[in-house]
């Protein structure tokens, strides 16, 4: 009878997945839920789901009575030379996966709905977006902060879940929520990795077989940094020199940045400590990958081969 209950539960979940395409429909639903005293959990995404997205949704499922996800490839966070047009998309596959993890609703707007003609308002989080991806991708975090503000105003969540893989994004969202007095709890979830340690990313599909091997240089070099720190090394320069040497020993890699920074301010740190993290952005072939490790936290990857 347990199995039957589970089947019924799953079937019931499948039946009630709702899709909202307009801002008004989503807001009306959110208002009704709030009137009923329901706690809304929200996971914003750009779609093309991998296990990492699903882990965020599973966490969201636990945190709220009603779980909304959004799928929107947000044009304002892509630079003119970036991969907006070729960003992978597959709504039907995403819908099935969302249904399987028990999502209640997908907010799936179009560009016009989110940025209608005469749109002119943007959110700029200043300090924490200056370095790392903020320096490398001008305007990126302005686009992220803007779309997340809009999504929060539309979905009206009590709690939202973000991945730590985009660590600077998580810090930016936390800072914005604090500064703008948004009444939303933010949960940061550990990076979901492939069996060999590669951080899951929608962009991994661009990698050729050889590039896929070189992409392992990111997680493996984070592991080396972690080991150096655990052995007592606190000189950020020395850790970064070793990480750089390691990544460059792989073909097809070009380091965009490799930096150790403070977890709160994202300012460069000279000393490694538990209030710092190492962040990498590396071009592997044409694909730009990022990864990071907060010193003192778990980094669950297989022991890297010597190189
Ligand atoms: O992390 C992402 O997928 C995006 O930056 C987000 C948070 C959905 C905003 O577009």
pLDDT digits (tens, 9 = 90+) for 195-225: 999 999 999 999 999 999 999 999 999 999 9
Question: Please, which residues have CB within 8 angstroms of residue 150's CB and are 6 or more apart in sequence?
Answer: 114
- The pLDDT assigned to 83 comes to 86
Give the model confidence (pLDDT) of 86-135 as tens digits. 999 999 999 999 999 999 999 999 999 999 999 999 999 999 999 999 99
- pLDDT exceeds cutoff 80 at 173: yes
Task: Give the separation between CA 96 and CA 91, rounded to whole angstroms.
Answer: 9
Question: What strands, in cross-sheet order, belong to the sheet with 40-45?
Answer: 18-20, 105-107, 66-71, 40-45, 159-163, 185-189
Q: Give the global pTM.
A: 0.93
Q: Which residue has the tokens 């890297």?
A: 304
Mean pLDDT of 281-306: 92
- pLDDT tier for residue 5 given thresholds of 50, 70 and 90: low
- The pLDDT assigned to 304 comes to 72
Ligand 1, atom 3: nearest CA belongs to which residue? 45
Residue 258 carries which DSSP code? E
Could you give the maximum distance between any two Cα atoms of the chain, in Å? Answer: 61
- pLDDT tier for residue 48 given thresholds of 50, 70 and 90: very high
Task: Give the separation between CA 61 and CA 66, rounded to whole angstroms.
Answer: 7
Q: How far is the CA of 22 from the centre of ligand 1 (A)?
A: 19
Average pLDDT, the chain: 95
- pLDDT tier for residue 12 given thresholds of 50, 70 and 90: very low
- pLDDT tier for residue 231 given thresholds of 50, 70 and 90: very high
- The pLDDT assigned to 199 comes to 98
Which residue among 49, 69, 77, 141 has the greatest number of ligand 1 atoms within 8 angstroms of its CB, and so is best to mutate? 77
Using alpha carbons, list the distances in angstroms from residue 289 to 123, 200, 216, 255, 278. 25, 10, 10, 10, 14
Task: Give the separation between CA 304 and CA 176, rounded to whole angstroms.
Answer: 37
- The pLDDT assigned to 93 comes to 98
Active site residues: 53
Q: Which residue has the tokens 């007592």?
A: 232
Atom of ligand 1 nearest to the CA of 45: 8
């Amino acid at each position: 009878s347990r199995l039957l209950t589970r089947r019924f539960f799953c079937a019931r979940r499948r039946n009630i997945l709702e899709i909202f395409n307009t801002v008004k429909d989503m807001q009306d639903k959110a208002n009704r839920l709030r009137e009923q005293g329901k706690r809304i959990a929200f996971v914003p995404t750009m779609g093309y789901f991998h296990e990492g997205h699903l882990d965020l949704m599973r966490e969201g499922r636990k945190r709220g009575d009603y779980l909304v996800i959004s799928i929107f490839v947000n044009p304002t966070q892509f630079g003119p030379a970036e991969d907006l047009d070729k960003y992978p998309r597959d709504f039907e596959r995403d819908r099935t996966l969302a249904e399987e993890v028990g999502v209640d609703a997908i907010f799936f707007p179009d560009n016009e709905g989110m940025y209608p003609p005469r749109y002119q308002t943007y959110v700029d989080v200043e300090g924490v977006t200056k370095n790392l991806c903020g320096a490398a991708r001008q305007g990126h975090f302005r686009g992220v902060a803007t779309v997340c503000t809009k999504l929060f105003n539309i979905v009206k969540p009590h709690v939202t879940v973000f991945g730590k893989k985009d660590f600077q994004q998580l810090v930016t969202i936390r800072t914005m929520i604090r500064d703008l007095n948004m009444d939303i709890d933010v949960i940061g979830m550990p990076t979901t990795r492939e069996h060999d340690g590669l951080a899951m990313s929608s962009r991994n599909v661009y990698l050729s077989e050889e590039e896929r091997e070189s992409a392992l240089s990111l997680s493996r070099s984070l592991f080396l940094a972690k080991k150096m720190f655990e052995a007592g090394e606190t000189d950020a320069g020395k850790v970064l020199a070793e990480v750089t040497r390691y990544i460059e020993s792989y073909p097809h890699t070009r380091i965009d940045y490799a930096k150790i920074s403070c977890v709160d301010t994202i300012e460069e740190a000279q000393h490694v400590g538990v209030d710092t993290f190492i962040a990498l952005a590396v071009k592997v072939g044409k694909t730009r990958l990022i990864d990071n490790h907060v010193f003192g936290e778990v980094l669950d990857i297989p022991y890297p081969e010597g190189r």
